[in-house]
Amino acid sequence: MIERLCVIGVGLIGGSLARALRDAGHVREIVGASRNPVHLQRAVELGVIDRFDTDLASAVQGADMIFVSVPLGAMGAVFRSIRDALTDGAVVTDGGSVKASVVADISEAIGEIPSWFVPGHPIAGTEQSGVDASFSELYKDRRVILTPLAETDATAVSRVRAMWEAVGATVSEMDVKHHDEVLAATSHLPHILAYTLVESLARMSEQREIFEYAAGGFRDFTRIASSDPVMWRDICLANGEAVLNMLERFNRDLASLSEAIRASDGDRILQIFSEAKSARDGFAG
**pLDDT, tens digit (0-9, with 9 covering 90-100), for 171-185:** 999 999 999 999 999
Q: Where do the domains of the chain lie, and which CATH numbers do they carry? A: 2-174 (3.40.50.720), 178-284 (1.10.3660.10)
pLDDT of residue 207: 62
DSSP 63-126: -SEEEE-S-GGGHHHHHHHHTTTPPTT-EEEE--S-HHHHHHHHHHHHSS--TTEE-EEEE---
pLDDT of residue 220: 87
Taking the model in full, what pTM does it have? 0.89
Find out whether 105 and 77 touch, Cβ atoms under 8 Å: no
pLDDT of residue 236: 96
- The sign of the CA dihedral 62, 64, 70, 72 is positive
pLDDT of residue 216: 79
- Mean pLDDT, the chain, rounded, equals 94
List average pLDDT for each run of 10 residues in the chain, which is 285 residues long: 97 97 98 96 97 97 97 96 96 97 97 97 89 96 97 98 98 97 96 93 74 80 90 94 97 97 97 95 83
pLDDT of residue 129: 87
